[in-house]
Amino acid sequence: MPLHRFLEIAAWTGGVLLLATYAGVRTWSAQASEDGVEALNRARAEHGAALKQSAVASAADTSIRSLSTTQPDTTTWDKKRIAEYNDALTKQATPQAVLRIPNLKLEVPVYRGTSDFILNRGAGHIEGTATVDSQTGNIGVAAHRDGFFRPLKDIQVGDTMFLDTVTATKRYRVSNISIVTPDDVSVLNPTTTGTMTLVTCYPFYFVGSAPKRYIVHARLDDESFARGAKN
């Protein structure tokens, strides 16, 4: 084969290979660019969702905190309990949640622990029970019979109650009401389903140290309520 013919074929073949390589690079570059845009869009969406969730949590936290300084209806409270509540307001406390029972017009902030100060200020989350954010387990909440929990004397099986936390609003229905001795701690036993147990002293108008405990058991509804849902 003449040399000039060989060089022409070589040049043509090299050009084809170069074009093929260029096309492949362009295809890879376009795909990489498309993947990058999709990744960026996903990141933006996730960031937006995180910001929205953060804003919702912040608003919920503000709402929960504000209730801790809202004056409750004390018309049925014992005078001594009112004085102790007002004294407790002079100290700082951050609630974990808000317990609401619409039928009883009851709204009470729930704090960590059950010290005298906590129970004078609101309701207390009983240590060792499920956390207020839990979807399973038994959440124990206690309060005084002559203060925030006095309306429990009128609660009935089937009544609805809500537990507002920073992350969610959970709806419960009263499943059982019982009266036990103070040493019967079985009412706070762990459960495999979502439950909440309210504990207060009994009888409600007993003079002195009440000899019994009034127990309200409630079950978590299957439907989970979003923040801001209507009751």
SS (H, E, C) 85-148: HHHHCCCCCCCCEEEEEHHHCEEEEEEECCCHHHHHHCEEECCCCCCCCCCCEEEEEECCCCCC
Summarised one tens digit per residue, pLDDT across range 194-225 is 999 999 999 999 999 999 999 999 999 975 55
Quick check: 188 and 123 in contact, CB under 8 A? no
Mean pLDDT over the full length of the chain: 80
Q: Lowest mean pLDDT of 7-11, 60-64, 113-117, 188-192, name the range.
A: 7-11
CATH of domain 72-225: 2.40.260.10
Summarised one tens digit per residue, pLDDT across range 77-114 is 999 999 999 999 999 999 999 999 999 999 999 999 99
Sequence ranges of the domains in the chain:
1-54, 72-225
**Is residue 69 predicted with pLDDT exceeding 60?**
no
Ramachandran region, residue 26 (left: φ > 0; alpha: ψ -120 to 50; beta: rest): alpha
**Is residue 228 predicted with pLDDT exceeding 50?**
no
Q: Which span out of 60-64, 122-126, 218-222 was modeled with the highest average pLDDT?
A: 122-126
Between 188 and 166, residue with greater pLDDT: 188
Q: Is the pTM of this model over 0.75?
A: no
d(CA 183, CA 186): 9
The reported pLDDT for the residue numbered 71 is 82
Q: What is the DSSP letter of 154?
A: G
Q: Work out the number of other CB atoms within 10 angstroms of the CB of residue 170.
A: 23
Active site amino acids: 144, 201
